[in-house]
Amino acid sequence: MSNSFRLSLSVNGEPIDALVDPAKTLLEVLREDLQLTGTKHGCELGECGACAVLVDGQPVLSCLALAVECGGRSVTTIEGIAAGDELHPLQDAMADLGGSQCGYCSPGIIVTAKALLDREPNPTREQIKEALSGNLCRCTGYLQIVEAVESAVQKLQTKVAAGLQPRATK
Amino acid sequence: MLRLPSFKYYAPASVEEAVDILGQSPETMMIVAGGTDVLPNMKRGQWKPKTLVGLRGIRELAVMMPGPGGSRIIGAGTTLSTLVGDELLQKNVRGLWQAAAQVATPHLRNMATIGGNLCLDTRCTYYDQSEEWRKAIGYCMKKDGSTCWVATSSKRCLAVSSTDTAPMLLALGAKVTLVSASGSRDVAVDDFYNNDGMSYLTKRADELLTSVSLPNLRGWTTSYWKLRRRGSFDFPVGAAAIALKLDGGVVEHARIALGAVASRPLLSEKASALLIGQKLTDEAIAAAAAAAYDIAKPMDNTDFELVWRKKMVKSLVTSALREARGDDMRAKRLSLARQIL
């Protein structure tokens, strides 16, 4: 692979060093080289949000990001959302409230919602809908997803009040 | 699975380095910034560059700064999210902020750049399809075929201009700076486009769009209204962009531009001229909207029925002008854009 590039980045807090073909997307490197298959292949054209991951805290579509352009970046996938064995409140709430049905869109939705809550710990329903407007779901009709995010907001605030969770910084 | 075809990749660290690379063999190269237009097109086989020149590492492209005489320079690599998050832009150049905020989705705006949105490939029902789909119809004029399926007797490609920021920048009287190994030139947004779905940019292949320059817009009121099916994702299928300078309620200067009704953003000189010296009465607004309607030429190349799209031009221009007049258009905005703008 004479045209390969050396890629150093952080994925879910772990430093990664790899040789990548420039024609590989971040999605392909995550799933095929790093075996992080939680991030899903959807339309692969930027039309569904299933492949969303966070790059430096911002939701982006990994199907349209060249891996070689992610050098030095910090990538968070759905595998990096839970704290050890303890699910993130967004994951709990999505499961409890039917926000995740077939589940295919859930990884993209959860990381996108996490980016919103990191930026805005107490979002309005409109802000939640706007933040998730790039994630398609064909099962839920969206209401359960929005309610799950609102429920996670409550859980996170309870944890913050009890000193179990650091306060989000804007 | 849709994979990218292989290509050689360059990551220049400066504009100078980028244009040197581009100058070597521009016809085999393409520029990629955010990747949200180039990469889907490559996955569908519409574009097959041998080499991609990635701009992500060029810091000087991602700056916003004041320019001479109250102008404002926006680096071409500025992401649409950065524009949407810019409170000064939201307050002072609201139309551009509204245009940027309605592009695609939050994820895509985090990646996509204003330079990329200006260079966005024209779109068409017969073109934005998989290789297999296009092969099945014998391809089209824009890529690998000879017939424009939108109007089979057409001598030119009728793909539609689908950029949101270009009509607004056209209404604002903005300029773009193009740099090549042989020098740089400033081009008015009006002169940056051809009304041709294939050769839609006047930019040469060896030129790099480095920045957008907004004139001094003190005292101007701006507004952008977009028509699309869904409240996110969709490209415009009609749009109105207006910039007005009012003096005591009387229109001193006006520029009205339309998006997604031709292969380029269109300036309606007649609609603009009709408003000069007028107060923004319902009658003056209706006359300007009717003049804008006259030049709109939507074709059957995208979502929605073309006669309705043309009719909607009147409504979009009317809404934009009413918003500029100070009418409370929030409910209408929300019903059309499903966003608070």
Q: What is the CATH number of the domain that holds B278?
A: 3.30.465.10
Nearest to B231 among A23, A49, A133 (CB): A133
Q: Is residue B20 part of a domain?
A: no
Q: Is residue B92 part of a domain?
A: yes
Q: Is residue B154 part of a domain?
A: no
Three-state secondary structure readout of chain B: CCCCCCCEEECCCCHHHHHHHHHHCHHHEEEECCCCCHHHHHHCCCCCCCEEEECCCCHHHHCEEECHHHCEEEECCCEHHHHHCCHHHHHHCHHHHHHHHCCCCHHHHHHCEHHHHHCCCCECCCCCCCHHHHHHCCCECCEECCCCCCCCCCCCCCCECCCCHHHHHHHHCCEEEEEECCEEEEEEHHHCECCCCCCCECCCCCCEEEEEEECCCCCEEEEEEEECCCCCCCCCCEEEEEEEEEECCEEEEEEEEEECCCCCCEECHHHHHHHCCCECCHHHHHHHHHHHHHHCCCCCCCCCCHHHHHHHHHHHHHHHHHHHHCCCCHHHHHHHHCCCC
Number of domains in chain B: 1
Residues 12-71 of chain A whose Cβ lies under 8 A from any Cβ of chain B: 21-25, 28, 41, 44-47, 49, 52, 58-61, 64-66, 68-69
Instruction: Say whether A133 and B4 touch across the interface (CB within 8 A).
Output: no
Confidence of residue A169 (pLDDT cuts 50, 70, 90): low
Enter the ipTM. Answer: 0.96
Cα B238 from Cα B215, distance rounded (Å)? 25
Instruction: Say whether B4 and A3 touch across the interface (CB within 8 A).
Output: no
Instruction: Say whether A45 and B44 touch across the interface (CB within 8 A).
Output: yes
For residue B268, give its domain range.
59-119+160-337
Kindly list the residues from chain B whose CB atom is less than 8 angstroms away from the CB atom of residue A130: 106, 339
Q: Is residue B103 part of a domain?
A: yes
Which pTM value belongs to this model? Answer: 0.97
Nearest to B110 among A5, A58, A69 (CB): A58
Q: Is residue B151 part of a domain?
A: no
Residue A149 contacts B, CB cutoff 8 Å: no
All domains in chain A, ordered by first residue: 5-80 (3.10.20.30), 89-161 (1.10.150.120)
Residue of B nearest to A24 (CA): B4
> What count of other Cβ atoms lies within 10 Å of the Cβ of residue B119?
21
What integer is the mean pLDDT of B155-171?
98
Max Cα separation, chain A? 55
pLDDT tens per residue, range A90-142? 999 999 999 999 999 999 999 999 999 999 999 999 999 999 999 999 999 99
Express as a percent the part of chain B with pLDDT over 70.
100
Q: Is residue B273 part of a domain?
A: yes
pLDDT tens per residue, range B207-236? 999 999 999 999 999 999 999 999 999 999
Instruction: Say whether B35 and A65 touch across the interface (CB within 8 A).
Output: yes
Which pLDDT score is estimated for A82? 97
